[in-house]
Structures are given as C-alpha cells and as structure tokens.
Amino acid sequence: MFDFLADQRANLCGGSHLSRREFLTVGALGAVGLSLPQYLAAKQAGAVKAGRDQRSCIMIFNLGGPSHVDLWDMKPDAPSEVRGPFKPIRTKSSEFEVSEILPLHAKIADKFSLIRSCYHSGAAVHDAGWQIMQTGRRFTGGINTPHAGSVASYLMRQRSDLPPFVVLPELMGRGGGNLPNGQAGGFLGKAYDPFALMADPSTENFNVPDLLPPDQIGAARLQRRRSMREIVESAVRNFETSEDARLYDDNFHAAYRIMTSPAAREAFDLGKEPKKIRERYGMNRVGQCMLLARRLVENGVRFVTVNTFLTVFNELSWDIHGSKPFINVDQMKHDVAPMYDQAYSALIEDLDARGMLEDTLVTGLCEFGRTPKVNPAGGRDHWPQCFTVSFAGGGVKGGRVVGKSDPIGAFPAERPVTPGDVVATIFYSLGLDPESHLPGPAGRPFPLTDFGTHPVKELFS
C-alpha cells in the first residue's frame, strides 16, 4: 500500500519511482479504501471457475473461542462437569440440535450446516488460532501467509468501486501470544491488506468514515486538522494538473474517478437502511457490522470479515474462563449468545430473502473450542483439539452435520477437518481454481493447494 505520509521515494511495480509530491497524490487512494494494484493490475485469467465468479464471502470470526459443547455440539448424556448447564433444543434440521441459548439459530437450522470435527495443532493461544484459521497455514519460517480474503481479492475480478476485502469494525486487538493475527495480505504485499472501517456502526452519531489501510491509521490520526476528503480532493486536483498524469494509462485515471464515486461511500451508509431492518440485526456493534457486511457484498465487495469482538481482555467475547478479565458462563448466556444469535439469524434470513444467499458464502469461524470439562471457576479454557464451525450459502446445503466429536467433545471421532481444509472450502465455494499460483515469498510461485488440498465437499452435495 502506498503511504501518503511518507517522505522517501517509492518504487512502482513497473520500476518507476514516485517523488514525495507524487507519493501524497497516490497515497490519497488509501483515504477512501482503494489500492492502485487492485485497480491497475490485470487479474489472472481463468483463476475463477465459471458459474461461481459472482460469489462473495462473509467470514464471521468469533473472537475468544466459543464453547462448542455449550452451543453447537452438546453432550447431554455426558457427566455434569462436561455437559454444562444448558440443554439442547430441536431445530429445523433433522440432523442436529443446538443449545437453548441459541433459539434463533434453531429456527434457521435448515439454512446452515456445521462441521463438528475441526481441530488444529497450533498453540492454544488466541492469536495463534486467529492466524491459522484465517490463512490455513501456521506461521512458521517467517512466512506470513495471506488471509483468505487477500487471496480472493488477488484472484477474483473486482465488481464495483469498493475495495475487494474489508474488515469490520476493525482489526483484531491483542491476543496474548505476540503472533500475527492473520488479517493481512502477508507475502502478497500491503496492497492486499484488508481495509478496516475503524468505527462502531452502532453508535448514534455514526457517519460514513474515511477508509484507511491498517498501516496508515495511526499516522493519519495525527493529521486530523484536515479531513481525509480534503486530502483526496487536493490530491486529485494536483495530479490532474501535473505532467506526471501523462505517464499513466486510462486505467490509472479510472482509479481516481472511482475514488470520488458517491456510490462507493453510500455502500457504507447504514442510514440508508430502514429502522426495522437495523433493529432486526440488533442495535449493537455485532449486529450493525453484520448488516454492513450484507450491504457491502450487495454492492460488490468480494470478501468481508466481521470480527464479533476485538480483544479477549476486559470486554465481552466468547472467552469464558469464568473469572476476570474474562467472562463467565452467565455473561455468555445473557449477553454474548443472544447478541450473536440475533445478528447471525438476521444476516442469514436477510440474504435469503434478497436472493443473495446462494451467491454469498457465510462462514462462522473461531480460533479454537473450549475444554470438555468445566474448570473450578465455572468456565472453560482453551481447546484447539476439537471445535465447531458453521457454513451457509455459497452453494452449501443447509441443515447438515459434517464430522463428529467423541462422547465428551474432546477430539474428532469422524472426518477430522484442519484449518487448511476450512480455507480450501472457502476457495472451493468461490470457485478459485486450485491450480492457480500466487507470487510467493522470494518471488517463488506459491500454489493455491498449499493453503489446503481437501475442501469439505460434503457441504455442497
């Protein structure tokens, strides 16, 4: 990503250079969430299979690690220290039940499917799980693997004036392990980093913000005496009157015209939504981010990641250790689960009612599950050895269960599914050709199959 606050000269992909004045001009792209390589570089021909090239993905990442045995993979016949305080309830699926604290999930269970046999071999710390589940590969050897959304934005044709990959409401915070969180372009480069909203869309005074690439957010806040819009307008005027403009082709000029498109900003404007719709999702950060995700894919964004929470320390999340600075089981029951239940069910119903569900994959991921046995504080601790994820839309058949855990939810008993398999399933739904290659570390080709070679095709048939 070009940095509009930098003083040094920068290299363009073609080998030419930008002066500081030009840097300011090009960097203004970041102020509205656009990146030159995403608009100027030709997309790889044939990277997406016909018939699936219109699909988008909404990745919901449930920060903290939801307790699979309390929510989606309950063990009512297990001992009390395993089964916990909640009871399973019947759903619209004949194949599975869910927890009584997810009643709205039960009503739409014919629209989503569960994988109950996920596991990973990463460390049992949050950011290790964040990284491996969103990229499909462990962070080893200094290789920072790109997020699945970065890969999709590289390989898929852009459909609108909007950035191809957006994170709502902002990037993940601290996870305790000092590892990459996986929400970056990795070895594809900063041009394929996601664009973060950096605002809470549920606040009463929420306005459509200026979008920034993550690495520029801190520096930009030091420049707030001038609005980002003023910077963009000034940069465009300066560029259009400069001799340098003649050095670039029509696509370059088109990128600047796209930046000023009202349609791109209106997609982020939740004020366009009826009050009834906003309330159906829930007037909280989780609900309004889910609604905004629907608006973005509706307007052409290829990939949206919704972080349900931002950190596991001293705020609500799924991290139910049972004692501060984490939450307890009662907080999960009365605060976290109802909020997620409302938002998720609203998103699935809304996409379905608008005829968008077939072309929108919605996947609910997490970094790990929780320990089968309740701890002395009445909570559960980190457990990457077995957990549950969900898939809906994007060609997925609803109401199904893939895989099975053992009698206490400790380990996969049937059809083990790895993070690579999960990411490969996303790529499969989006129609990405597994024979495609990315420009990998040190300039070496990086095959798409290195992310994962075994998509969970049972979800689609």
- b/e string for 302-329 if b means 16 or more Cβ within 10 A? bbbbbbbbbbbeeebbbbbbbeeebbeb
Of 202-211, 309-318, 322-331, the one with minimum mean pLDDT is 202-211
Is the pLDDT reported for residue 3 higher than 50? no
Query: What's the rounded Cα separation, in Å, for the pair 281 and 290?
Result: 7
pLDDT above 70 coverage of the chain, percent: 78
**Cross-strand partners of 306:** 60, 168
Q: Would you state the pLDDT for residue 230?
A: 58
Separation in Å, CA 309 to CA 35, 110, 200, 269, 324: 27, 27, 11, 21, 17
- Strands of 112-118's sheet in order across: 195-196, 165-168, 303-307, 56-61, 360-365, 387-392, 112-118, 401-402
399: nearest Cα among 106, 164, 169: 106
Indicate if the alpha-carbon torsion angle 128, 131, 137, 143 is positive or negative: negative
pLDDT value at residue 221: 47
Choice among 89-103, 194-208, 227-241, 411-425 with the minimum mean pLDDT: 227-241
Give the span between the Cα atoms of 29 and 4, in whole angstroms. Answer: 9
* pLDDT confidence band for 6 (50 / 70 / 90): very low
Write the CA distances from 53 to 364, 448, 449, integer angstroms: 22, 17, 19
The pLDDT tens digits for 241-251 are 554 444 344 33
DSSP 37-54: HHHHSPPPTT-B-TT-TT
For the chain, domain boundaries: 1-31+218-261, 48-211+268-460
Average pLDDT over every residue of 303-322: 95
SS3 432: strand
Q: Determine contact, residues 309/130, Cβ cutoff 8 Å.
A: no
Which three-class secondary structure state does DSSP give residue 164?
coil
- Among candidate residues 357, 342, 349, the one with its CA nearest the CA of residue 287: 342
Which residues touch 214 (CB under 8 Å, ≥6 apart)?
A: 171, 184, 193, 194, 195, 196
With a cut of 60, say whether residue 77 has pLDDT above it: yes
Per residue in 162-189, pLDDT tens?
A: 889 999 999 998 788 788 999 999 999 9
Residue-level length of the chain: 461
Query: What average pLDDT does the segment 442-446 reach?
Result: 89
Q: How do residues 105-147 score in pLDDT, each as one tens digit?
A: 999 999 999 999 999 999 999 999 999 999 999 998 888 999 9
Q: For residue 259, what pLDDT is reported? A: 52
Contact yes or no for 28/231 (Cβ under 8 A): yes
Residue 233 is predicted with a pLDDT of 57
pLDDT score for 237? 56
Q: Phi first, then psi: give them for residue 320, nearest 5 degrees.
A: -90, 65
Mean pLDDT of 94-109: 98
Sequence-distant (≥ 6) Cβ neighbours of residue 282 within 8 angstroms: 288, 339, 342, 343, 346
The CB-based long-range contact list for 403-408 (8 Å cut-off, 24+ gap) reads 403/115, 403/116, 403/117, 403/118, 404/116, 404/117, 405/68, 405/73, 405/116, 405/117, 407/75, 407/77, 407/78, 408/69, 408/75, 408/78, 408/82, 408/372, 408/373
d(CA 208, CA 183): 22
Dump pLDDT digits (tens) for 183-235: 999 999 998 999 888 889 999 878 765 544 455 545 544 444 344 455 545 55
The pLDDT tens digits for 358-370 are 999 999 999 999 9
Name the 3-class secondary structure at 145: coil
Q: Measured over all CA atoms, what is the biggest interatomic distance in the chain, rounded to whole angstroms?
A: 76
439 contacts 189 by C-beta, under 8 angstroms: no
Q: Of 439, 95, 162, which Cα lies nearest the Cα of 296? A: 162
First to last CA, the chain: 40
**What is the CB neighbour count within 10 angstroms for residue 457?**
11
- Stretch 57-65: mean pLDDT: 98
Which residues 6+ apart lie within 8 Å of 416 measured at CB?
117, 119, 403
The predicted pLDDT at position 205 comes to 79
Q: What is the DSSP letter of 336?
A: I
420 band by pLDDT with thresholds 50, 70 and 90: very high
Class of residue 96 by CB neighbours under 10 A (exposed 0-12, middle 13-18, buried 19+): buried
Q: What's the CA gap between 30 and 138, in Å, rounded?
A: 29
pLDDT value at 8 more than 70: no
The arithmetic mean of pLDDT across residues 44-67, rounded, is 84
pLDDT classification of 19: cutoffs 50, 70, 90: very low
According to DSSP, the residues that pair with 20 across neighbouring strands are none
Which band of pLDDT confidence, cut at 50, 70 and 90, is reported for residue 295? very high
Q: Supply the CATH classification number for the domain 48-211+268-460.
A: 3.40.720.10
The DSSP string of 84-114 is -S--EE--S-SS--EETT-HHHHHTTTTEEE
- State yes or no: pLDDT of 376 exceeds 90: yes
Residue 437 has pLDDT above 70, yes or no: yes
Entry pTM: 0.83
